[in-house]
Structure 1
Amino acid sequence: MIEFIGGSYLAATPQVSYRRLLEALSALGWQIHAWSYVPGFDHQLQANEAWRLFRQERQRWLESHSMDVSRQCRPTAGLEAGASRGAGPAVLRLGHSLGCKLHLLAPDAGRGCDGLAALAFNNFSAERSVPLLAEVGQQFGFRSEFSPSPAETLRLVSGQYRQPRNLLVRFDRDGLDQSGRLLAALRQRSEDASQLLELPGDHLTPASAGLRRRLLGEWADDPSRQRQVDGLARRIEAWWERSP
């Protein structure tokens, strides 16, 4: 099962903004839950909300299936997968940009999943991300920095995040990516098994709705975009299958 959080305002309609990627993963056999949200300044609050709703959706999924799904669990950090979250299918948390940060801030510190795939991790300050809003906040006395801040986020990752199995995907034309900083924070932990994968593309490579193809037909589509997204889904699947 995949629990997906998209990036920034793309995540308001993940079923549209990330349609190609989610369909490609679904075609590989994944059950997908995607969280819809509008970003705010309190990222910890939103991370808590996403975690809680994913947990509720997972419980509904279990209740709707009569088969014994506990056999699908895979080991993580020397414990039987699911031991800290109850019986259920193996869970991959998947995030893009800001969505990666929200997964990293989950209140279970990554214990309730079997791995994280972080696409184009972004951890900029509010001033860099929304400079006008940050300026207005300073003038009128309301919060103008994300909580936790970028530096605090990395400190929390290195000190409290407990999931050893992480795939960081960086795209070679992405000027917003901060996967290197995240990898450095992850590797400060003992028994870390994080990996970094660099692929062709830019920050928006994971976000493709295929709208031109759906509205105008195959002739209007860019086949290379579909190949990129399909290739990304296969690389995530390959890492998942071979990662201990």
Structure 2
Amino acid sequence: MEWQEFSGSWVLIPHNPIGIVHFLGGAFVATAPHLTYRWLLENLAKQGHIVIATSFLNTLDHKAIAVNVQNRLENILYRLEYKEGIELNYLPIYGLGHSMGCKLHLLIGSLFDIERAGNIFISFNNYPLKQAIPFVENIIPSLKDNLKNYLQIDNNLEFEFTPCPEETKIIIRENYQIRRNLLVRFNNDTIDQTLILKPILTDLFPNMTSALTLQGNHLTPLGQDIDWQLGDFFTPIDTIGKWLKENFSRDLYNLHREISRWLNPVIINN
């Protein structure tokens, strides 16, 4: 099973698929999700899910990004069914997002009349521009000066994501329609805003919204397994390697296990 590129998205197709996972990553690592989130996505595919990891470039217009990635998903689903001959009619589709990817899935679930078996939100982040991008305070004045050369703009013009954080919450509260949701936050994540999202979704779907707090940090979903091969004799270096594997991989394993359990509660995870 190897990654295939369709319309700027990366796709894994297992034999006899049991579902479809549409993945959207964080703002600065979403251009190559098949690499940055490789271990997590490939292991979901090994369990039988078609994984569609859509790449995107972050801009201020998050609504436009959401529309674009949803349109690309629909094109890929059409291609898989009518050109690749994969029967998709009875496969549940799940959204899986990390950080900014959560916001995009929330917008998609609010702006489009779509069918989703559920959405998984890992480390939801909906900060305003000045908090989301380091050093942006130094970038914006320069950007305004450059724009003056081409456009007549007000010096007081404020740059912000569209929709802004408050508008995003209103859109979700009034229009979000995906009933089953899993929210995952990590105990050492300083930029997570899951606690802001949780009451909104709980009010909408009180019996269908689950929340977990796991060991890890904001970068845990990007982790890769450390494949430490033991030699014929166990050495002190092997002890270090074993410790690294257990500690750096443990949080990623736990995340994968909880996602798998939620996607298919029948599966017993060791």
| Alignment TM class, shorter chain as reference | 0.7 to 0.9
User: 2:64 and 2:229 mapped to 1: Cα distance?
Assistant: 41
Please report how far the alpha carbon of residue 137 of structure 1 lies from its aligned counterpart in structure 2 after TM superposition: 4.8
Distance 1:4 1:23 in 2: 12
Answer yes or no: is the 8 Å Cα contact 1:3–1:94 preserved in 2.
yes
**Matched residue, 1:201:** 216
Indicate whether 1:126 and 2:129 are aligned: yes
| Number of equivalent positions | 223
Aligned match of 1:75: none
Q: Which residue matches 2:96?
A: 94
Tell me the amino acid that sits aligned with residue 215 of structure 2: P
Question: In angstroms, what is the RMSD of aligned CA positions?
Answer: 2.6
* Structure 2 counterpart of 1:181: 196
Structure 1 unaligned residues grouped into runs of 5+: 73-88
Q: Does 1:56 align with 2:75?
A: yes
Instruction: Tell me the secondary structure at the aligned position of residue 29 of structure 2.
Output: helix
**In structure 1, distance between residues paired with 2:115 and 2:140:** 34
Q: 1:240 aligns with which of 259, 263, 266?
A: 263
Name the residue aligned to 1:36: 55
Which residue identity is paired with 1:123? N
Q: Structure 1 residues 136 and 127 mapped into 2: Cα distance closer, same or farther (>3 Å)?
A: farther
> Could you tell me whether the CA contact under 8 Å between 2:224 and 2:249 is conserved in 1?
no
In structure 2, stretches of 5+ residues that fail to align are: 1-19, 148-152, 231-237
Give secondary structure in 2 for the equivalent of 1:239. helix
> Could you tell me how far 1:227 is from its partner in structure 2?
3.2
Larger relative contact order (CA 8 Å, sep ≥ 6): 1
Aligned partners of 1:97 and 1:119 also within 8 Å: yes
Native 8 Å contact 1:159 1:189 kept in 2 = no
Q: Distance in 1 between matches of 2:113 and 2:207?
A: 13
Note if contact 2:123-2:186 (Cα within 8 Å) is conserved in structure 1. yes
Say if 1:60 and 1:189 are closer, same or farther in 2 by CA, change over 3 A.
same
Q: Are residues 1:114 and 2:114 paired?
A: no
1:143 is displaced (CA, Å) by 5.9
Structure with bigger strand share is 2
* Structure 1 counterpart of 2:127, one-letter code: F
Identity of aligned residues (%): 29
